[in-house]
Amino acid sequence: MAQLKIKSFTLVESVFATLIVVISLAAGVVIFSNIMTNENLALQGRVNTLMNSIIEETRQQNSFQNEEIILEGLIIKKQVDKYKGTNSIYKLKLTAELNGKLVGELEELILKEIDE
């Protein structure tokens, strides 16, 4: 009786191949995670820069009014209130939204310059 010889992989070869695939997938997940984190950090930096420029502009122009500003696709809401009933200190609250999602928030006290 003639024996039929079948070509196949051994169990060790199959385990090594599976291990290589799993390691490659894990590396891909780590790279994807890093890209997403860096993208969020870049957005946060951009939002903070824009909000700080709005605060500086508010200081320079003594513009203490509520408004909604659209910059670079972000909707930045500026809310100004007198701080604890004082006439010369204002609390400025900025919130930034991108596609309806809150991406940044900043509060700061501003001393209003009194013209004499």
What does the domain layout of the chain look like in residue ranges? 11-111
Which one has a higher pLDDT value, 8 or 95? Answer: 95
Mean pLDDT of all residues belonging to the chain = 86
Write out the CATH class of domain 11-111: alpha beta
Q: Which residues contact 57 (CB under 8 A, 6 or more apart)?
A: 63
Q: Which range in 18-22, 41-45, 58-62, 105-109 is most confidently predicted, on average pLDDT? A: 18-22
The yes-or-no verdict on residue 116 having pLDDT over 60 is no
Q: How confident is the model at residue 3 (pLDDT cuts 50, 70, 90)?
A: confident
Residue range 78-86: average pLDDT?
Answer: 87
Whole-model pTM over 0.85: no
What backbone torsions phi and psi does residue 41 show, to the nearest 5 degrees? -65, -40
Q: Which residues contact 69 (CB under 8 A, 6 or more apart)?
A: 54, 75, 76, 77, 78
